[in-house]
Amino acid sequence: ALQPIFGLWWTAIFFTLVHMQYTLTPAALIILMVAIGLGWLRRRYNLYAAIAAHFLYNFIPLALSVLIES
């Protein structure tokens, strides 16, 4: 049963590649760690937990930047 182990890794790598810009940067490691975390949330809880975490990961910096600029 390699799917539970390698499935998360391959999915996280694909997520990282899709969310990177055009070059490999040190930020890709952060994206990979986020992807692994989201995959763990999905496996441990459910898809909605991973979606909520992804939303918060995107929304909080946006909200802070809007608040700082105003």
The DSSP secondary structure of 30-45, one letter per residue, reads: HHHHHHHHHHHHHHHT
Confidence at residue 23, expressed as pLDDT on a 0 to 100 scale: 81
Would you kindly state where each structural domain of the chain is located, as residue ranges?
46-70
Alpha helices (runs of H) in the chain, residue ranges in sequence order: 3-19, 27-44, 47-69
Dihedral angle sign, alpha carbons of residues 25, 55, 43, 41: positive
Tell me the backbone φ, ψ of residue 26, rounded to 5 degrees: -60, -25
pLDDT digits (tens, 9 = 90+) for 25-48: 888 999 999 999 999 999 999 999
pLDDT mean over 52-66:
97
* Model confidence pLDDT, tens digit, residues 3-15: 666 788 888 998 9
- Give the model's confidence band at 24: pLDDT under 50 very low, under 70 low, under 90 confident, else very high: confident
